[in-house]
């Protein structure tokens, strides 16, 4: 079994994996912010950490977790405060380098989760039929909480199949389940802010990811 690329969260060789003997391909989650040095790296690495916490093996199930920035600082390291926040959650920040959002990233993504509504609009404006699979992180969390996960395919059918059904169910609810305020779907930019503000953003992201990963895997976070 090959190890994950620590820099991007893409598994070496993009090998096809199986679950209970059923072949399946990958499900790609793309996190998007502005510079790809603060919010989206935190979200990328917390997602990977949460999946490993629930499933044991970060390669399990065929989920690929990536990030990029609409004005991405190509090749730049993650902000030091972002690394600190990840370390406090027990997540791995090593090997990360920023990148600019490209068409190919959107084309390959099965689910795009953005920090803000502006980011979401920028992704959708790139085309590639991205509208039904692009949400802000908090928007997606709000929609996922309204889904009866018993209606999703069981995990025995494969994590990829379950994940794609979750995205379809969330897209079907959009327009029916509105945010209480416009700001409710936003994760604000901590770039240049002191560590306490980074921690508050990290807490927001962690809280938003928890129900998403639980619905995706069918496994709650460890107590």
> pLDDT under 70 in the chain at which residues?
1-24, 57-60, 223
What digits encode the pLDDT tens for the residues 182-191? 789 999 999 9
Report the pLDDT value the prediction gives residue 221, as an integer from 0 to 100: 80
What digits encode the pLDDT tens for the residues 27-42? 999 999 999 999 999 9
Q: Are 46 and 86 in contact (CB under 8 A)?
A: yes
Q: Are 70 and 127 in contact (CB under 8 A)?
A: no
Report the pLDDT value the prediction gives residue 11, as an integer from 0 to 100: 29
Long-range contacts of 154-159 (CB under 8 A, 24+ apart): 154/218, 155/19, 155/217, 155/218, 156/19, 156/20, 157/22, 158/19, 158/22, 158/24, 158/61, 158/62, 159/19, 159/24, 159/27, 159/60, 159/61, 159/62, 159/63, 159/216, 159/217
Phi, psi of 111 (to 5 degrees): -145, 125
């Amino acid at each position: 079994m090959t190890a994950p690329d620590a820099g991007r969260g893409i598994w070496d060789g993009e090998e096809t994996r199986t679950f209970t003997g059923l072949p399946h391909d990958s499900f790609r989650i793309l996190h998007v912010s502005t510079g790809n040095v603060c919010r989206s790296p935190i979200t990328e690495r917390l997602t990977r950490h949460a999946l490993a916490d629930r499933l044991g093996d970060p390669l399990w199930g065929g989920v690929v977790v990536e990030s990029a920035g609409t004005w991405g600082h190509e090749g730049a390291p993650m902000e030091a405060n972002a690394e600190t926040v990840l370390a406090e959650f027990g997540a791995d920040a090593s090997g990360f380098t920023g990148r600019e959002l490209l068409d190919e990233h959107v084309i390959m993504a099965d689910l795009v989760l953005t920090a803000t509504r502006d980011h979401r609009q920028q992704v959708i404006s790139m085309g590639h039929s991205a509208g039904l699979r692009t949400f802000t992180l908090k928007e997606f969390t709000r929609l996922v909480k309204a889904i009866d996960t018993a209606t999703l395919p069981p995990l025995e059918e494969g994590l990829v199949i379950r994940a794609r059904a979750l995205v379809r169910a969330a897209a079907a609810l959009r327009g029916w389940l509105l945010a209480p305020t416009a700001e409710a779907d936003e994760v604000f930019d901590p770039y240049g802010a002191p560590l306490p503000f980074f921690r508050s953003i990290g807490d927001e992201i962690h809280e938003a990811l928890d129900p998403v990963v639980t619905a995706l895997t069918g496994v709650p976070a460890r107590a």
